Amino acid sequence: MNWIGSKRSERTFDAIVIGSGISGGYAAKELCERGLKTLVLERGRPVTHRDDYPTATKDPWEFEHAMQLPEEEKRRNPIVARCYAYDESTKHFFVQDEDHPYQQEKPFDWIRGYQEGGKSLIWARQGQRWSRYDFEGPARDGYGIEWPFTYDELAPWYSRVEEFVGWSGNRDGLDHLPDGEFLPPFDLTCVEKHIKEKVEAHYNNRHVLHGRCAHLTELKEIHRRQNRGQCMARNLCYRGCPYGAYFSSNSSTLPWAMATGNLTKRTHATVESILYDEQSGKASGVRVIDTQTGDVTEYYSRILFLNAACLNSNLILLNSKSNRFPDGLGNDNGLLGRYITFHNYRGSIHAVMDGFEDQYYYGRRPTQAIMPSFRNVYRQDPEVNFQGKYLIAFSAVRADWQRGVRTVQLGADLKESMSKPGEWNVFMMAQAETVPRYDNHVRLSETETDKWGIPQLVTSVDYTENDEHLLKDFLEQGSEMLEISGARDIMTSDSKQAPGLDIHEVGGARMGLDPKTSILNRWNQVHSCKNVFVTDGAAFSSAAVQNPSLTFMALTARAANYAADEMSKGNL
């Protein structure tokens, strides 16, 4: 943490960034590169790349519980314990349930990471560009408002991010899942290639692609300048990557921003609210509570970037009350906190593929094969009874881990069994769009506060009948494609999990052309308070089906450079 003096002048910056995760780190990089003295506020602890990844190189037997969670810990933390990435080797990067409670009016599993780097240390690293149809679809098909910019406007910023971050993938030439500035992809397994061949031969609108992910499969000069290394396909990413081979704020954007000499960081700093100056009609700074001492400090700046992650960004805006904004900063239309959307992850399919016993693969590839949307892409398809789309991810692997686990063998027989790969198993899942609904919202509790005196968040987010129809279609279509590919023992599953475990919640401070129906304008500025920018998931007007983090960063890069330009013109 950089030293900060007590005088107001020593607590005044050109820009303040709230949050140090994927979008906050990127905001810091862009603003500092433009010469702005920038303060990054992080509510969690400091985490230094490499030094603070205590489990990165440990083997399972080096953990007290072999990486499993004790039952007592699961009982104390039932929400975070449901997260796919949470175990004994990663739990230090997650918020425990009791540390920051919230009120669930409807079940919602809110997964959080409070530390320098935020959830960029524990994200799944997948990402795809949105297409023009994703930005046009909601207004076109009548389930959302018009996005206030086009794909063509965002495309150069996608390229800027992909080149800096390092994004692996294949150039496939599809207009509904645009290509990017790719490093070489991780290869498909032989069974995945077989499924690709069968599916693409049978359908004229379905494609199987290499997964696209933020991993350095090859080093470019820009990555060497970040002191990052090539991916070793260990797939231990959630522990923190000592190579810097996958993108995180800690390994990439924050050190890059620090090297400019323009960055100041403060950790253990929870933003209670954004301060509004009634005379100037602008935000003047933020009120911060030290999470260790409880001390309150105010910091000031010409512009603010809010990147606390979707729901916490909504919380901060809702709690930023003034005479001008009695219901929260920018909330003139009463829509702040409304239209929360997410990805429906409930559907999955398992199957077995015979043959291919003489083939295997190398390493633990950190991605899957993907199938872009084929429903409601160019228009609302008349043959389906739902709005929105779904992306399919699937993998086919040899079931090594089953050998000996599902048997009663011991000793030499067990060793012999485990030395031979098992049959090929296929796992398929949907990443399904949920459409924006006014009723899906978050708000401040009127009675409950957290231990820092800040109102707790109330979540009121649920599935709809539309989600059930979409889920049914995926299970039917996915099963059909696997059957066509020659799979057997096809089993479908609905996890019934609550919203939130997808960790892709977006919305609440959505972008739009009309201040009557949106909170932010086309540059991610609060309509009625132009020096406040929101560029994390809270800004989304709809969810589409792609993993959202690449779009977070592209929006952030675009907004940060716009803000710097406007400041140089004297407009901010």
Domain layout of the chain by residue ranges: 1-169+214-337+503-572, 170-210+346-387+389-434+463-498
Single-letter amino acid, residue 315: L
- The rounded distance, in Å, linking the Cα atoms of 533 and 553 is 13
- The rounded distance, in Å, linking the Cα atoms of 429 and 342 is 15
Single-letter amino acid, residue 212: R
> 550: which residues sit within 8 A by CB, 6+ positions away?
127, 128, 129, 158, 161, 162, 167, 214
Q: Which helix H or strand E contains 47, and what residues bound it? A: none
pLDDT attached to residue 75: 95
Written as six digits, the tokens of 278 are: 């009634």
- The rounded distance, in Å, linking the Cα atoms of 331 and 343 is 26
pLDDT attached to residue 343: 98
pLDDT attached to residue 406: 45
DSSP annotation string for 121-140: GTS--B-----HHHHHHHHH
pLDDT attached to residue 418: 67
Domain at 1-169+214-337+503-572: CATH code: 3.50.50.60
- The rounded distance, in Å, linking the Cα atoms of 121 and 253 is 13
- Phi, psi at 41, each rounded to 5°: -105, 125
Single-letter amino acid, residue 493: S
pLDDT attached to residue 371: 98
Q: Point out which residues pair with 302 in neighbouring strands.
A: none
Q: Which helix H or strand E contains 296, and what residues bound it? A: strand 296-306
pLDDT attached to residue 404: 39
Q: What is the largest CA-CA distance in the chain?
A: 80
pLDDT attached to residue 403: 43
Written as six digits, the tokens of 120 are: 């960029």
pLDDT attached to residue 3: 66
Q: Treating both helix axes as pointing N-terminal to C-terminal, what angle do 22-33 and 549-568 enclose, rounded to 10 degrees? A: 30
DSSP annotation string for 332-343: TTS-TTEEEE-E
Nearest to 84 by CA among 109, 66, 103, 65: 109
Residues of the chain with pLDDT under 70: 1, 3, 400-409, 417-419
Q: How many residues are given for the chain?
A: 572
pLDDT attached to residue 562: 98
From the CB of residue 16, how many other CB atoms can be counted at a distance below 10 Å? 28
pLDDT digits (tens, 9 = 90+) for 291-305: 999 999 999 999 999
Torsion of CA 95, 234, 26, 309, to 10 degrees: -30
30 neighbors 38 (Cβ within 8 angstroms): no
Measure CA 293 to chain center: 31
From the CB of residue 114, how many other CB atoms can be counted at a distance below 10 Å? 24
pLDDT attached to residue 2: 72
Q: What is the end-to-end Cα distance of the chain in Å, rounded?
A: 28
pLDDT digits (tens, 9 = 90+) for 248-285: 999 999 999 999 999 999 999 999 999 999 999 999 99
Three-class DSSP category at 251: helix
Q: Point out which residues pair with 398 in neighbouring strands.
A: 424
